[in-house]
């Protein structure tokens, strides 16, 4: 996609058309500076409700509100120019009824300008997904391990391990696709099930802990950068260890402040200046 579309922001349709053409690269982003860094490299930026845990230090995603998602969605839109931006619907903002879900989506779409929303759920959410899509809201589905259902799932564990569970995840995936979702996240699901779903559906699947058989991959950015702490799920690969770099930089800063060697002459205004010094984007 990066080769073909150079001048405009990607849409949900562009993402759907990538099925069978090129692997979809998706990462989470919650802030404008991170969105700016990721934007040249990814197809999709997901403003995931994982921000509750990653940014706000919550134990689960259940405490995330619609206002939080909208604020972070706006920041990510400001920081990006080419990626398709998708905003998660948080727990409690869409499960009650299709009308409630539409009201939440209308706020997300109007107030952020994002390309679409993601919501967790399978067959039980199919009517809602259909209702939203028929009213102009592009929906990315999310099946398999659904973190918003952690209390009924009994913890975070891989899905599709028994025949019954595998059939359930497949049924959910089909229902979401039939309802009109433009793509589907499969989380924490064993390879044969993710492979079968990816082969069966006409829409792209995007895996997180769901094997290379998916049409694309997503991870939490702080996880791949080594910024999210020592414990991470099996499916995370660290592509950098930035926590170490941050520790080193902050230790040096603290030392220099304490030694009074920072700020030096380069960071000091030698005489009165007029006007305001503008912060640059870098
Ligand atoms: O909230 C999130 O970040 C997600 C992805 C990890 C798929 O849903």
Residue bearing the CA closest to ligand 1, atom 2: 48
End-to-end alpha carbon distance in the chain: 27
pLDDT, tens digit, for every residue of 159-191? Answer: 899 999 999 999 999 999 999 999 999 999 999
CA of 20 to the centre of ligand 1 (A): 23
> CA-to-CA distance for 89 and 48, rounded, in angstroms?
8
Choosing from 163, 187, 230, 266, the catalytic residue is 187
Q: For strand 116-118 and strand 84-88, is the pairing parallel, antiparallel, or unpaired? A: parallel
Architecture of the structural domain at 12-224: Alpha-Beta Barrel (3.20)
Closest ligand 1 atom to residue 50 Cα is: 1
What's the pTM value of the predicted model, to 2 decimals? 0.94
Torsions phi, psi of 165, nearest 5? -65, -40
Q: Is 187 a catalytic residue?
A: yes
pLDDT, tens digit, for every residue of 51-72? Answer: 999 999 999 999 999 999 999 9
pLDDT at 282: 46
pLDDT at 150: 84
Residues with CB under 6 A from ligand 1: 28, 46, 48-50, 88, 185, 187, 208, 218, 220
pLDDT, tens digit, for every residue of 72-127? Answer: 999 999 999 999 999 999 999 999 999 999 999 999 999 999 999 999 999 999 99
Q: Where are the domains of the chain?
A: 12-224
pLDDT, tens digit, for every residue of 209-246? Answer: 999 999 999 999 999 999 987 777 899 999 999 999 99
pLDDT at 228: 87
């Amino acid at each position: 996609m990066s080769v073909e579309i150079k001048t405009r922001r990607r849409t949900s349709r562009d993402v759907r058309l990538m099925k069978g053409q090129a692997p979809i690269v998706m990462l989470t982003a919650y802030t404008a500076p991170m969105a700016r860094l990721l934007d040249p490299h990814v197809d999709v930026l997901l403003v995931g409700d994982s921000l509750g845990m990653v940014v706000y230090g919550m134990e689960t995603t259940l405490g995330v509100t619609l206002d939080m998602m909208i604020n972070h969605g706006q920041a990510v839109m400001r920081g990006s120019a080419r990626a398709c931006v998708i905003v998660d619907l948080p727990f409690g903002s869409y499960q009650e009824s299709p009308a409630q879900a539409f009201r939440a989506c209308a706020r997300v779409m109007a107030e952020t300008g994002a390309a679409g929303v993601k919501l967790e759920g399978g067959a039980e959410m199919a009517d809602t997904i259909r209702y939203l899509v028929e009213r102009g809201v592009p929906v990315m589905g999310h099946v398999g391990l659904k973190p918003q259902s952690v209390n009924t799932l009994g913890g975070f564990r891989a899905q599709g391990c028994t025949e019954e569970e595998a059939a359930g995840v497949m049924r959910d995936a089909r229902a979401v696709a039939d309802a009109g979702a433009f793509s589907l996240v499969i989380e924490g699901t064993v390879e044969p099930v993710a492979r079968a779903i990816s082969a069966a559906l006409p829409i792209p699947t995007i895996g997180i802990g769901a094997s290379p058989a998916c049409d694309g991959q997503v991870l939490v950015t702080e996880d791949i950068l080594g910024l999210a702490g020592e414990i991470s799920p099996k499916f995370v690969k660290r592509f950098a260890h930035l926590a170490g770099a941050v520790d080193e930089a902050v230790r040096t800063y603290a030392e220099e402040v304490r030694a009074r060697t920072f700020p030096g002459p380069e960071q000091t205004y030698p005489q009165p200046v007029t006007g305001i010094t503008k912060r640059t984007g870098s």
